[in-house]
Amino acid sequence: MKFLFSSLIILLSSITGSAVQAEPAAGPIVDPTSICNGDVCSEPMVNIVDGFRDGRGQFADQPMTGYSGKCFHLSPHYSADKAHHGGFVFEKSTDGIAITGRFNFFYEEDPYADMNAGEMKDTFLQGGGKLSPGTETATEVQLAHIYDETDIRYWYRSDASKNNLFIIGSTSNKQGQVAAAVFCKMNRHSN
């Protein structure tokens, strides 16, 4: 009887533990090229969307690829015309692609301009960043962070040279309404 009771406790713990650790459901996926509809974006944001539309995936063609450059935030907290900076590193392995990055606000210059991809990755990880699994297709790379009330998504595409990366990111609620967005054009770093 004691064994049966212990087994039931373990079974109940595993069932309730699994339910508590379940991933939140994702909301509708926003079309990143539609965020600027309705004249809400600045000219630099619209230019980035145009580059993104013409872009392609498969740009992270090395074990580690880094990009950094200017970002424009569509948010009530920032001017849509003010350039901020950011950087992303893409690490490929047999398991897929992992991504880490950082946004830097109110920097006059790109803080990563003189770093290679490995130095950028080390800087991001030492600052508390982590590598998150992404999804790579022929048309783009995607990264999604799904939370209980909010979905944060990033879409990445490069030009044909793979030297310029266009990024659109959005924060939306579970109904697909965008609360904030970011538009970046970044330059490729050496490995």
Query: Domain 26-188: which topology?
Result: Lipocalin (2.40.128)
Say how far apart CA 181 and CA 35 lie, in whole Å.
Answer: 8
Say how far apart CA 154 and CA 141 lie, in whole Å.
Answer: 8
DSSP state of 29: P
Please tell me the predicted confidence (pLDDT) of residue 28.
83
Of the chain, the percentage scoring pLDDT greater than 70 comes to 88
Please tell me the predicted confidence (pLDDT) of residue 122.
97
pLDDT band at 2 (very low <50, low <70, confident <90, very high): very low
Please tell me the predicted confidence (pLDDT) of residue 191.
75
Please tell me the predicted confidence (pLDDT) of residue 177.
93
The H-assigned helical ranges of the chain are 2-20, 43-53, 117-126
Does residue 3 carry a pLDDT above 80?
Answer: no
Say how far apart CA 139 and CA 75 lie, in whole Å.
Answer: 27
pLDDT band at 18 (very low <50, low <70, confident <90, very high): very low
Does residue 19 carry a pLDDT above 50?
Answer: no
Please tell me the predicted confidence (pLDDT) of residue 102.
97
Q: Which of 21-25, 93-97, 148-152, 167-171 has the lowest mean pLDDT?
A: 21-25
| Side chain identity at residue 32, one-letter code | P
| CB-neighbour burial class of residue 58 (10 A; exposed 0-12, middle 13-18, buried 19+) | middle
Does residue 95 carry a pLDDT above 70?
Answer: yes
The rounded Cα 39 to chain-centroid distance in angstroms is 24
The rounded Cα 169 to chain-centroid distance in angstroms is 6
Say how far apart CA 134 and CA 101 lie, in whole Å.
Answer: 12
pLDDT band at 109 (very low <50, low <70, confident <90, very high): very high
| Residue-range domain boundaries for the chain | 26-188
Average per-residue pLDDT for the chain: 88
Stretch 112-129: mean pLDDT, rounded? 96
- For residue range 53-88, what is the model confidence (pLDDT) as tens digits? 999 999 998 999 999 999 999 999 999 999 999 999
